Amino acid sequence: MSSWQSTILNLMLSYVAKPSMSRGRSKLPISEIRKRMLHMDKRWIIWPESLISKKIALSSSHLLAYQFKTNNTQNDVVFYVRGGGFCFKTPNAHAKFIANIMHHCQLDAFIPDYRLAPEHPYPAALNDVIEGYQKLIELKPDANIVLMGDSAGGNLAAALLLEIKRQGLPQPKSTVLLSPALDIALLGNVEQTLAADDPLFTIESLLRLRGAYLNGQNPMLDSVSPLQGDFSDLSPVMIIAGTRELLLQDAKQLVKKIQDCEGRVQGLFYPNMPHVFPLFEMLPEATQARHEIHQFIQLNMKS
């Protein structure tokens, strides 16, 4: 049985966040939604006091480097690709979650601050993420790397994994994907998608974000829909999602795909949980999921 906190959160998402994501009567442009989300993130989410962020210039964007004020530089790092439907970002909310991973796993963090759609559609974001990973390897060639991503960031992280294999770059020691959006081609079971009782997303909002990112490009490319790619011969992967998500099929299909090629994968699907629920620290289920993530990262750092 899910917690009472999750019941309240799902109601709040349904009545507050969900209407703003769908056009409905409001008809807000994506740029206005982005502006409001950034304002709410800055107003309501406090940046972790002990966390320092520095910018590293890339050709068209920046790579952010996070460190704690009181700690020496860590040898090992997490490369975290933030979600936001390819169109938005919530720096403070993600910084709080990333700081939790850094603290418990003794990692520094590098975050690609990739360009956003629709102003910068595919492949801009992926190019920025790949360049950010290449820069990280240049800066810390001996580091053990954990790759993480949530939602659209999970898409970009999965696409990065495929590109790492293609280019022969150093693989991460492990990968953690939270509610990843992996099937931009929309090849999943339509009936299951329509039956999903997602408190955050509607089909309309997902299609709107998908269109802004694709801008007419081929959704069957594995750099767009990573489920079309080859996930053999990779380091261990953990995939976490909630059962109320429209994107639940994406996560389950990737677990099966990795299992079918005899890869190492752990899929955790939490009943009645919404999209990217581990970021909501007030949830007991988020605490549990974070504990699972910490253990998974620590275990694979030793291997």
End-to-end CA distance of the chain: 35
Q: In total, how many domains does the chain have?
A: 1
Is 34 a domain residue? no
In a domain, 90, yes or no: yes
- The Cβ of residue 166 has, within 10 Å, a number of other Cβ atoms equal to 12
Is residue 109 in a domain?
A: yes
Percent of the chain with pLDDT over 90: 82
Query: Is residue 38 situated within a structural domain?
Result: no
Structural domain that includes position 261: 47-298
pLDDT at 25 over 60: no
Q: 32-55, pLDDT tens digit by residue?
A: 999 999 999 999 999 999 999 999
Residue 16 lies in a domain: no
Interval 132-171: pLDDT, tens: 999 999 999 999 999 999 999 999 999 999 999 999 999 9
Q: In what order do the strands lie in the sheet with 174-178?
A: 51-57, 62-68, 108-113, 77-81, 145-150, 174-178, 237-242, 265-270
Dihedral sign for Cα atoms in the order 24, 199, 17, 211: negative
Paired sense of beta strands 265-270 and 174-178, if any: unpaired
pLDDT at 78: 98
Residue 30 counted as domain residue: no
Cβ 226 vs Cβ 162: under 8 Å? yes
Q: What single-letter amino acid sits at 168?
A: G
Binning pLDDT at 50, 70 and 90, where does residue 30 land?
A: very high
**Tens-place pLDDT, residues 7-22:** 887 787 786 666 665 5
The CATH number for 52's domain is 3.40.50.1820
Distance CA(105)–CA(8), nearest Å, equals 30
The answer as to whether 113 is a domain residue is yes
Amino acid at 58: L
pLDDT 10s digits, 50-89: 999 999 999 999 999 999 998 667 789 999 999 999 999 9
DSSP 74: P
